Amino acid sequence: MSGPLVVLGDALLDKDLEGRVERLTPEAPVPVVDEPSERARPGGAALAATLAAAAGGAEVILVSALGDGERGRLLGRLLDLAGVEVIDLGLAGDAPEKVRVRAGGHTLLRIDRGGAGRPGALSAEAELALAGAAGVLVADYGRGLTAEPSVQAALERIGPGRPVVWDPHPKGATPVPGARLVTPNRAEAAAAARLTPAAPGPGAELAMAANAGRRLLAAWRAAAVAVTLGARGALLVEGDTAPRVFPAPPVAGGDPCGAGDRFAAAAAAMLAGGALVSEAVAGAVAAASHFVAGGGAAAIDLGAQRPAEPGLGGHHQGGGLRAAQRLAAEVRARGGTVVSTGGCFDLLHAGHVASLRAARALGDCLIVCLNSDASVRRRKGAGRPLVTERDRAAVLAALDAVDAVVMFDEATPARVLDQLRPDVFAKGGDYALAELPEADLLAAWGGQAVILPYLEGRSTTRLLEEARSHGQDAS
């Protein structure tokens, strides 16, 4: 992914008051919530940005209006903790707030307040962020930001090479023409398409979603519409092809709060990384299901490392330096050892896997510094790499031994290593330690470069030679 993922939309402050219920009040047949504990987290577009940053893989910038009161300031601190850069457009008054009163994992009551102020116009800083984005997620919560003329004009100027994903709201603006993907839920899709809600049953629901998706595809002039169906997954309408359904894996229990934001954030990140729309929707369904099973928005811990999500790669997913830096900081805070290695990893083979496992065994996390396609070509020649950087990163991130992947364009990973400052740099191959340019660099901060044993006869070059030999024999 070249450039940040920009999330634009209405930010909210969400709070959960979680207590226990053992009796009803004598004044009315309603539960008494005893000793509730309060927990605040980003909500709305701020939640979508937080989830995108937690998944890793790219820098995340939130363009929103936080408000100038106590709630807005708290929201800003939470976003900073989440690793999200904020471009605040200004809001007259305080940030809107949603409070859920919960007990036993169930929501008993929700209280909404604030948010009457109008956001400011798009700033020059925000326009620059949008212009340099790898992808844009519009998280519309119907509070006016997406309807601002300056915002609409900036979004319409984004070229087709940079995907715009629009998560709409019934009270929000119409998605700009040319959006790569629009992600209404079934109720939003039915309302926008002016259809009556579907009768009970999966068949009727899918028929309604397909009909709504076709209507909205034309009305919004979007490239694709994915109607999210909760526990049933999502239905994708794209071009003239038949609608495709992406079922969700079974989830026992969980909390669906925030699942739509997780879906949209995952789809936007994958599209920004070069995925096809169908790949992005499949990955987003898996991510949202994993999120719900893990407790949804109520389970977000801004200070904890998030586990891997199915279909999205390793713990900090893909090639994000900031995500890898957060991982390294978390490991060090626990007194652990950060290990790094580097290479092209073109045509991953048993030798690579053995080296990666050996490197991971040296510490408590392994960050792989991966040569970009351009870097591989300079080292190996015009015919390499055989596998693109995106696919090489995805394969590496899927390995149990790998905790994060960071791309670099230079001849060596020195710049990335200087920013990560690992305790150990491990290199597999037939080297002498003096031949490793990384050895002196690691020594500068007290780290150690080491050589790992490698499996004889395992190399990408040898695989290619054998493939050519077999091809000649066959001819």
Which residue numbers are catalytic?
261
Residue of 334, 332, 328 lying closest to 368 (CA atoms): 328
**CA distances from residue 265 to 5, 44, 47, 75, 315 in whole angstroms, order as listed:** 9, 12, 9, 19, 16
Quote the radius of gyration of the chain (alpha carbons, Å): 24
Q: Number of C-alpha atoms within 13 angstroms, CB side, residue 75?
A: 31
Distance between CA 325 and CA 258 in Å, rounded? 26
CB atoms within 10 A of CB 391: 13
The per-residue pLDDT for 313 is 33
CA distance 250 to 231: 8
Bridge partners, 225 (sequence order): 182, 237
pTM higher than the cut 0.85: no
| Amino acid at the residue 240 | D
Please name which of 420, 425, 421 lies closest in space to residue 451, comparing C-alpha atoms.
425
User: What is the C-alpha to C-alpha distance for residues 414 and 375, in angstroms, rounded to an integer?
Assistant: 13
At 304 the pLDDT is: 42
Amino acid 318: pLDDT: 42
Element (DSSP H or E) covering residue 259: helix 259-272
pLDDT in tens, the chain (475 residues): 568 999 999 999 999 898 999 899 888 888 999 988 888 999 999 999 999 988 776 789 999 999 888 898 999 999 988 889 999 998 888 888 999 898 887 889 999 988 777 787 889 999 999 999 999 999 999 888 998 889 999 999 987 788 999 999 999 999 999 999 999 999 999 999 998 776 666 678 899 999 999 999 999 999 999 999 998 899 999 988 899 999 988 877 778 889 999 999 999 999 998 889 999 999 999 889 988 888 888 777 664 433 334 333 333 334 468 788 888 988 888 888 999 999 888 888 788 888 898 888 888 999 999 998 888 888 888 877 888 888 888 888 878 889 899 989 888 899 999 999 999 999 876 555 556 788 889 999 999 988 887 654 445 455 445 545 555 554 4
Pinpoint the alpha helices (H) of 334-459. 350-360, 373-380, 389-397, 414-420, 438-444
Residue 201: per-residue pLDDT: 66
Domains annotated on the chain, with CATH: 5-299 (3.40.1190.20), 321-465 (3.40.50.620)
pLDDT for res 451? 84
pLDDT at 253: 72
10: three-class secondary structure by DSSP: coil
Both tokens of residue 79? 């976003």
